[in-house]
Amino acid sequence: MPEESGQEKTEDATPKKRQQSREEGQVGKSTEVPSVVVLLIAVATLYAMAGIIYDRMGNVMRQSLTFSSIPEVHIQQAVLWMKTYGMQAFWTIAPLLLAVFLASFFANAFQVGFVLAWKAIEPKPSKIDPIKGLGRIFSKKSLMELFKSILKITIIFYVSWRAVKGEMPHMMRLYDHNVATILLFIVKITFKIFLWVLLAMVFVALMDLIFQRWNFDQQIKMTKQEVKDEGKQTEGDPLIKSRIRQLQFEASKKRMMQDVPKADVVVTNPTHIAVALKYDAINMQSPEVLAKGAGSMAERIKAVAKEAGVPIVENKPLARNLFQWVEVGQAIPADLYQAVAEVLAYVYKLKGKGRK
């Protein structure tokens, strides 16, 4: 454990660590953003549907009052009435409920994407541990939530008071106005208070979102040892990988040296580079590099070639180009055809093979 090893979490979380936290339901999101979005969408939907809701709910009320004036009502009639007008009331407010649901869903998705964290709802003994429960109640996160709630209440009271204070001169003159004017004033000041509260809540939500993401990044930071351990798990132990690469390199060198005796010629520069070439007019479209090397590897190639009786030709420019641009097992590029052809012609002449 990091705490036990005394290491500090100074490293940013790796993509794997972030994905693991995400699967466990740990994401950097703000609960204030969905609240503000839901409030805004709910009010906007109510405003857009105010006329429809007023007419339909008024119709339900009128019909219910008519029903209540009937002297004798049977239970079947009452059940039918409740079912009929209850469904009418439900379908009247259904668009509002749907808008609120979609607003909450997409507000969360906007922050962290779509998360299905089954691990977060798995039963764990730690969740019912009373000691750990008390620890969560008095944790830094809980204290931050308490501070945030107090801040929101303070802001709501402050902006409400400022809105009402600005309208105090008008309120003092309402006593000589009719009921319609008073109701209109109440609607006006209510809307003003709501607007200011909403703007304040938007500011709080944005600040909370920034803080929550920063705080989440701090919580999932890793120690240097954790980063190393994860690297070993995902990419393998560097020492083992190095050993595997070394073995693969040794195996490829062994195969390459076994192919040198099959070459038609070894081109050198003459001391630092050696490249073994072969050309089979029946099975190859162009000459291929069977082996190449520099330094001690070049010396080994030349030694094997001498032992096998493979001609060694000095050609510095060709040797450098072949070593730099052509890999083992590859055919030579077209721009080297002429130079290689001249070398092969020379070799065939020496061997007395003289290909037509």
Q: What is the pLDDT of residues 9-41, one digit of tens each?
A: 777 887 788 877 777 767 778 888 888 888 888
CA atoms within 13 A on the CB side of 91: 7
Question: Using 50, 70 and 90 to split pLDDT, how confident is the model at 289?
Answer: very high
- What is the average pLDDT across 127-156? 73
Distance in angstroms (rounded) separating the CA atoms of residues 158 and 155:
5
pLDDT score of 141: 73
In the chain the beta strands, taken as DSSP E runs, fall at 265-268, 273-278, 288-294, 312-314
The model's pTM is 0.50
Distance in angstroms (rounded) separating the CA atoms of residues 220 and 214:
10
- What is the average pLDDT across 28-55? 83
Q: pLDDT (tens digit, 9 = 90+) per residue, 236-256? A: 666 767 777 788 778 878 889
pLDDT score of 171: 76
- What is the average pLDDT across 130-153? 73
Whether omega before 71 lies within 30 degrees of 0, making that bond cis, reads no
Residue 180 vs residue 339, higher pLDDT:
339
- Please, what is the Cα angle at 92 between 86 and 93, to 5 degrees? 95
Q: Is the pLDDT of residue 65 over 90?
A: no
Task: Say which residues have a Cβ less than 8 Å from residue 99's Cβ, sequence separation at least 6.
Answer: 41, 42, 45
* Average confidence score pLDDT of the chain: 80
Q: pLDDT (tens digit, 9 = 90+) per residue, 304-319? A: 999 999 999 999 999 9
DSSP string, 25-71: T-----SHHHHHHHHHHHHHHHHHHHHHHHHHHHHHHHHHHHHHT-S
User: Which domains are delineated in the chain?
Assistant: 241-351 (3.40.1690.10)
pLDDT score of 290: 94
